[in-house]
């Protein structure tokens, strides 16, 4: 930081990437700019070298920008994220992940300058001020009737696998989004969700009580419905519920 920012720019459209890199190199806050033409190349660069910030396109083939940003939260020193996109429909999800800014193409120099000011503050100063890690997938986009809305992780009481999709169960209804449950489990690890069955993730603080079904199986009861708990996950869930109860976090009703 004392010698300027080291920035990674990511976009799968070469002219757009060249333009972004040119703007960044002209900025006085930036010392070095490295370009990547896709998310996987960017991830390899980030795993092998430190960057203060990543300016990241969202709509890319394969691993998209939102997914890459969530993966970056797992790095020991995650960079500051700024999204650069031609579409404004992902803003809620982008800020939910932890991005400090959201720039629309074509990027104007004054907007880039404002974003870089935020990056400098977040990346820290000469006194070594730490930067917060981005929050992985705190909001998920769902499509309905040709419109996109966002479901907050805190509103989800449990998640049900449905092939390459998941059903997000909330008190207000069920929402479907395209994502394997195994990937969502990785994103939401450590956020209060636990795997209780091959096909279910459960928000521990949403559990009101444990019940037995007609065959003697275990069910976790929430306001959004009952969730089956497999035998191999039952002990871990009971331990988590006990710990949550001791902290006063069970059945708080905060999840909509």
- For residue 33, what pLDDT is reported? 97
Nearest-angstrom CA–CA distance, 111 and 41: 26
Question: How many folded domains does the chain comprise?
Answer: 2
Nearest-angstrom CA–CA distance, 42 and 69: 11
Residue 72 has pLDDT above 60, yes or no: yes
Whether the predicted model's global pTM rises above the 0.75 cut: no
* Greater pLDDT, 41 or 244: 41
Of 123, 150, 171, the one marking the end of a domain is: 123
How many Cβ atoms from other residues are within 10 Å of residue 26's Cβ? 11
Domain around 57: 5-123
Residues 110 and 164 in one domain: no
- For residue 23, what pLDDT is reported? 92
Residues 80 and 184 in one domain: no
Name 154's Cβ contacts closer than 8 Å, sequence gap at least 6.
Answer: 138, 254, 255, 256
Burial-class residue 171 by CB neighbours within 10 Å (0-12, 13-18, 19+): middle
DSSP for residue 171: T
Residues 175 and 203 in one domain: yes
Residues 99 and 193 in one domain: no
Residues 146 and 118 in one domain: no
**Which H/E stretch holds residue 8?**
strand 5-10
Q: What is the CATH number of the domain that holds 25?
A: 3.40.50.2300
How many Cβ atoms from other residues are within 10 Å of residue 174's Cβ? 12
- For residue 1, what pLDDT is reported? 47
Instruction: Look at the block and give the residue holding tokens 């009952």.
Output: 226
Residue 98 has pLDDT above 60, yes or no: yes
Residues 27 and 75 in one domain: yes
* Greater pLDDT, 124 or 226: 226
- For residue 90, what pLDDT is reported? 55
Let me know if residue 47 belongs to a domain: yes
Of 98, 123, 148, the one marking the end of a domain is: 123
Mind giving me the DSSP string for 95-160?
A: HHHT-SEEEESSPPHHHHHHHHHHHHHHH--TT----PPPPTTSEEEEEETTEEEEEEGGG-SEEE
- For residue 128, what pLDDT is reported? 47
Percent with pLDDT over 70 in the chain: 85
Q: Which of 1-5, 192-196, 230-234 has the lowest mean pLDDT?
A: 1-5
Note the pLDDT tens digit of each residue in 8-55: 999 999 999 999 999 999 998 899 999 999 988 998 999 889 999 999
Note the pLDDT tens digit of each residue in 120-169: 888 764 344 444 444 556 777 777 776 667 788 899 999 999 988 899 99
Mean pLDDT of the 54-71 span: 84
Nearest-angstrom CA–CA distance, 106 and 110: 12
Residues 163 and 231 in one domain: yes
- For residue 140, what pLDDT is reported? 76
């Amino acid at each position: 930081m004392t010698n300027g920012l080291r920035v990674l720019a990511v976009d799968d459209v070469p002219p757009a990437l060249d333009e972004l890199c040119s703007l960044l190199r002209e900025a006085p806050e930036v010392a070095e700019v490295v370009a990547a033409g896709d998310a996987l190349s960017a991830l390899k660069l980030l795993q092998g070298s430190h960057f203060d910030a990543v300016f990241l396109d969202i709509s890319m083939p394969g691993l998209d920008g939102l997914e890459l940003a969530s993966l970056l939260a797992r790095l020991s020193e995650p960079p500051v994220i700024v999204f650069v996109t031609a579409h404004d429909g992902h803003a809620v999800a982008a800020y939910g992940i932890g991005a400090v800014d959201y720039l629309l193409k074509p990027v104007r120099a004054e907007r880039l300058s404002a974003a870089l000011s935020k990056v400098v503050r977040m990346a820290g100063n000469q006194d070594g001020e730490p930067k917060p890690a981005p929050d992985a997938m705190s909001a998920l986009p769902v499509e309905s009737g040709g419109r996109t809305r966002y479901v907050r992780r805190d509103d989800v009481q449990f998640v049900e696998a449905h092939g390459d999709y998941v059903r997000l169960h909330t008190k207000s209804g069920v929402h479907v989004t395209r994502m394997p449950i195994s990937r969502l489990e990785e994103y939401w690890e450590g956020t209060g969700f636990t795997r209780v069955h091959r096909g279910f993730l459960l928000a521990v603080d949403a559990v009101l009580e444990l019940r037995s079904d007609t065959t003697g199986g275990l069910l976790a009861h929430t306001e959004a419905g009952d969730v089956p708990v497999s035998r191999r996950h039952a002990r871990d869930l009971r331990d988590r519920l006990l710990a949550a109860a001791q902290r006063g976090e069970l059945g708080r009703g905060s999840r909509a």
